[in-house]
Amino acid sequence: MSYKTLFVLSLLLGGQLAQAQQDRYEEGLHYFKLDQAETPAKSDSIEVTEVFSYACTHCNTFEPYMQNWMKSKPENVKVNRLHVTFGRKSWEMMARGYITAEMLGIADKSHVAMMDAIWKDRRPFRSVDDLADFYSAFGVEKDAFLANYKSFAADSQLRKSERDVQLFGIRGTPTIMVNRKYRIATSTEVTSLDALLEILDFLVAKESNR
């Protein structure tokens, strides 16, 4: 069976899943449509954004779930991350560190290791030098990390991230965004991380068939 045929079948099955779950998941209750955000042009690619903070214990709990989901996600789904600060200076250093890792192309391979360093190894990150030492293990020079960390580009990306938090109405972490159009988070109606990912599958299928 060709890849194209498999892709078409996956879309059909996704559509059937979306239809079957249409009554189960209700907009405004289980997930929220962001009318104030720009709706992306129709595309075969679906953007999924994991909104998180390294300082958030719930994000650490969620990360293995997200990693497992990524192993079986549809081929048309592209995953990225948004590190929030919620205006907390204590979170800003880690957010800027993640942005710097993205700029240097090491964010994906260092992400789980950073979570583990903080929450399993209890490694303290009290300064930018501590961050530079950590990220230098992923093939970047410490001086290069520090230069990018302090750059105008990092400042701009941090400000953009903070604007996105306001635009999307993000109140807590972890939160998942789909195509900068839908927001999902645990709540009284979404009572588990497994349920959150089921709704994510539903919205991915919904967007794939629009």
pLDDT digits (tens, 9 = 90+) for 23-74: 589 998 999 998 765 655 666 789 999 999 999 999 999 999 999 999 999 9
Distance from C-alpha of 154 to C-alpha of 149, rounded to nearest angstrom: 6
Structure tokens that stand for 167 in this block:
């635009």
Asked if omega into 174 is within 30° of 0 (cis), the reply is: yes
Distance from C-alpha of 155 to C-alpha of 106, rounded to nearest angstrom: 18
Distance from C-alpha of 164 to C-alpha of 87, rounded to nearest angstrom: 13
Distance in Å from the first CA to the final CA of the chain: 25
pLDDT for 24: 82
Q: What pTM, to 2 d.p., does this model score?
A: 0.84
Topology of domain 3-208, per CATH? Answer: Glutaredoxin (3.40.30)
Structure tokens that stand for 165 in this block:
């938090």
Decide the pairing of beta strands 182-185 and 175-178: antiparallel
The most distant pair of C-alpha atoms in the chain lies apart, rounded to whole Å, by 54
**Residue 150 carries which DSSP code?**
T
pLDDT for 103: 97
pLDDT for 179: 93
pLDDT for 7: 53
Every domain of the chain and the residues it spans: 3-208
pLDDT for 44: 77
Is residue 47 within 8 Å of residue 80, measured between CB atoms? Answer: yes
pLDDT for 13: 60
- Counting every residue written for the chain, the total comes to 210
pLDDT for 37: 56
Q: Which residues of the chain have pLDDT under 50?
A: 8
Question: What's the alpha-carbon Rg for the chain, to the nearest Å?
Answer: 18
